[in-house]
Chains A and B, each alone.
Chain A
């Protein structure tokens, strides 16, 4: 969802002055630039944006973006991001995570997040290695590969983030590329505008440890599915069932041709709408700004609850 102000905010500086400690040439720079451009284009007031990160190179991105940021624990970026949005649905929430962070230690949260469909954008920085700990195999590294940082070849099958996202119930699923800033920026804008849980799997070469999945590897292989006639929009619940199975097939492509673009764009009930079924005033009231006390005395009164036990 989009929380712009009227009249629109002036173009703002969405970058902090903090010195960036990624390796020179790191794919993360492209993602940072695309995100900043997207925020600038969307003109969302800085104070209304929350960006969370987990732990890892990519998860340091909160420090470089001039919005509210929460640098959380390893694997917990998405869990905390959902709570921020539930706590204050007026905020624009973006969660950043690496493939180790999100698909390894934090994988349980992806499945649970899909079940909720909280309205936020999840950015997956996908490079096949654990960079910050010197390049161990991550959950997306293909089976049998052995980038230079590994001591042995990788014996595990990779997780396909798009497949996992579709299976878990993410209502917007896309892939983009950190060296295609224009496509990435546009994809992020679509993800942010999407009302529901969005995943953007971002191919992001690690220049230090992964000498296989490099810029030279991706450039000739990546193709835009939407330019080849794929329409991600879902018209109805029935249409969704069909679309999901087709999208999964597309998502599984890997080899000489690697698909990117938006695979799924399904508008359905979001978690804040669902919560209103249980808490009728949820979202109508601003829980953060609404006081819970006046001059130190509570505004809630549990007399009725006490009576129910008498």
Chain B
């Protein structure tokens, strides 16, 4: 019996590798398995080597495995590159006649010829369906009902029914003609309804649930998948997604839409965020409730656009000239991404400040199974928004909590004056009075105190494992997945996930970390969270485990490093 099964589809970008892996993943999701995928793409449209991993298990899984059980290489390069990861009992499904004894020989040519004849096509026209041959071969080895596979294929080609029909004919032919010598006996599971999504879907659904009305973006990997997803549902849920001329326009438009009264957001990655920074400072000064979804990728500069990194933590919490209040939240998985998205809008409107939701490429491009969100838990808080006629209105009125009543254009008796220059309560700027400056700085910065006091502890930190463990891993973002998976094996460590980065939850962190041996795990070069932890709490990290080669942390390397008796001050993970 196998506990978990790992399938890899590898080949040139654009050869249908994601279709193949996604179809397989969807079938397994519907069987009731937990599914975790990892996509490693080259930053190109066609040609370069890419690969997708699909891991399947009856138990919860949150990371990919270094081990491959079924390898589907779509070119010779993939055979050379990935055969070394194939387990002894594994199988390679390939049309080529490989000398490897793990090669499952499926009569590709005969199968495709039979289908070609049936549909009156030439063999060459069916070449694109080789992936389906491999997919059906793998399905048969696992013992899946072919009708379930065919159903997913039909859904994938919903708009092209005859393509679906041909692919499904290929499935039938494989199931009829291919008798595997090797089968995979995966531990059975009990069906439970789950979504198969990545973080861009989770954030997108969170935005819709939160009442988003305006989203702006400029195309950038890995953030634009989210905006493109939103474009598919905006007609139904009544909101606008605006593709702008650059990220400067994107954030300025989001700010203006927010100041016009709409729940408003923009999504980007590091290079785009850099262009947004001036306006971020403006949002702080003008007390604009705008939310920025920041999907980190490997930098600096253009870096590795399709690869993973958590290199922008210190940047996100400090970017922007001058001092202004902001909130930075870093979800660690797709479920958190959904709820945090809604919280981000609530915090932005309640405290009238910019909120950054810090995500990463691993989350954006990793599809996995997630229980449907519990919508009864969702609340919406628009803060001191005024939509009815009023009088004696001042946009920046001084109040006890620093938050002024917020009117928008169109409200009688409450004209707004918004300015990025230092301003008085009425928003006008023709004072550079020293006392006014102090009052207004106090007003804005004071809001952070209330964020600190009022945001629930769960939004700030989460603790996992046995509280009495001496060793505590401190981490953030998507690294949470491999750490939690490794903790199923390595029992003497606990984990503190820091979720709110700004304002930094000092008390909550101290509560869990005082007197502990601290190990940080993060995907950047220097250990930015370890530095931040020391700055904010004075706590020293005994070991910084880092990985910065652009690839997420694998399950096995996480287990291996956490199992070590002794850890160096800095441990660099390198699995690729």
Binding site for B on A (CB under 8 A): 16, 18-19, 21, 45-50, 52, 60, 62-63, 66-73, 75-76, 79-84, 86-88, 90-91, 108-109, 111-112, 275, 278-282, 285, 287-289, 292-293, 296-303, 305-306, 309-310
Contact = CB atoms under 8 A, between A and B. Distances in A.
Interface string B397-440: 00000000000111111111111110000011110000000000
A87 B209 contact: no
The 6 residue pairs across chains A and B that have the minimum distance between CB atoms:
A292-B211, A83-B253, A112-B245, A80-B256, A83-B256, A293-B380
B439 to A, nearest CB: 19
B195 interface: yes
B523 to A, nearest CB: 26
Contacts of B30: 310
Given A71-B419, A81-B256, 7 more contacts: A48-B409, A83-B254, A91-B260, A108-B248, A298-B342, A298-B380, A306-B373
B492 to A, nearest CB: 37
A212 B145 CA distance: 84
B349 to A, nearest CB: 11
B380 A292 contact: yes
A71 B417 CA distance: 8
30 contacts: A47-B409, A47-B410, A67-B415, A69-B415, A69-B418, A71-B420, A83-B216, A84-B409, A87-B240, A87-B260, A88-B409, A108-B248, A112-B244, A285-B238, A288-B410, A293-B379, A296-B381, A298-B211, A298-B380, A300-B210, A301-B209, A302-B208, A303-B372, A305-B204, A306-B205, A306-B373, A309-B195, A309-B197, A310-B30, A310-B193
A46 B407 CA distance: 14
Nearest to B379: A296
B416 A69 contact: yes
A125 B373 CA distance: 52
B387 A288 contact: yes
B416 A279 contact: no
B233 interface: yes
Given A70-B256, A80-B255, A302 B209 contact: yes
A278 B231 CA distance: 9
Given A69-B417, A108-B246, A300-B209, A50 B428 contact: no
A282 B249 contact: no
Contacts of A278: 231, 234-235
Of B29, B234, B380, B429, most A-chain CB atoms within 10 Å: B380
Given A298-B211, A302-B375, A309-B196, A289 B410 contact: yes
Contact of B429 (A63, A81, A111): A63
Contact of A305 (B233, B260, B282): B233
B382 interface: yes
A66 B257 contact: no
Given A275-B240, A297-B379, A87 B430 contact: no
B256 A79 contact: yes
Contacts of B409: 47-50, 68, 84, 88, 91
A108 B245 contact: yes
Contacts of B418: 69-71
B378 interface: yes
B242 A297 contact: no
Report the contact-size class of chain B (Cβ under 8 Å from the partner): 35 or more
B261 A288 contact: yes
A108 B378 CA distance: 40
B257 A84 contact: yes
A108 B249 contact: yes
Contact of A310 (B195, B205, B209, B375): B195
Contacts of A49: 409
A293 B194 contact: no
B315 interface: no
B234 A88 contact: no
A230 B427 CA distance: 44
A175 to B, nearest CB: 25
Contact of B410 (A16, A48, A76, A108): A48
* Contact residues of A: prevailing secondary structure: mixed
Nearest to A68: B409
Of A48, A52, A109, most B-chain CB atoms within 10 Å: A109
Contact of B211 (A19, A68, A289, A300): A300
A50 B418 CA distance: 11
Contacts of A71: 417-421, 429
B237 interface: yes
A47 B413 contact: yes
B130 interface: no
B469 to A, nearest CB: 36
A21 to B, nearest CB: 6
Contact of A80 (B29, B252, B411, B413): B252
B380 A72 contact: no
A81 B279 CA distance: 15
Contact of B260 (A48, A66, A67, A84): A84
Nearest to A92: B409
Contacts of A60: 429
A169 to B, nearest CB: 13
A296 B380 contact: yes
Of A21, A79, A91, most B-chain CB atoms within 10 Å: A79
A117 to B, nearest CB: 14
Nearest to B408: A288
Given A70-B256, A83-B252, A309-B196, A88 B410 contact: yes
Interface in B23-61: 29-30
A47 B279 contact: no
A181 to B, nearest CB: 24
Given A69-B416, A69-B417, A80-B253, A298 B210 contact: yes
A306 B195 contact: yes
A279 B252 contact: no
B261 to A, nearest CB: 4
B262 A288 contact: yes
A87 B261 contact: yes
Contact of A109 (B242, B245, B259, B430): B245
B248 A76 contact: yes
A87 B193 contact: no
A24 B233 CA distance: 54
B64 interface: no
A103 to B, nearest CB: 15
A299 B210 CA distance: 9
B205 A292 contact: no
Contacts of A303: 372, 375
B108 interface: no
A279 B380 contact: no
Contacts of A18: 428, 430
B253 A46 contact: no
B158 to A, nearest CB: 12
A16 to B, nearest CB: 8
B556 to A, nearest CB: 29
B307 interface: no
A88 B411 CA distance: 12
A63 B417 contact: yes
Given A69-B416, A298-B209, A86 B233 contact: no
B494 to A, nearest CB: 32
A305 B208 contact: yes
B238 A282 contact: yes
Contact of B257 (A46, A52, A87, A108): A87
B262 A87 contact: yes
Nearest to B381: A296
A289 B387 contact: yes
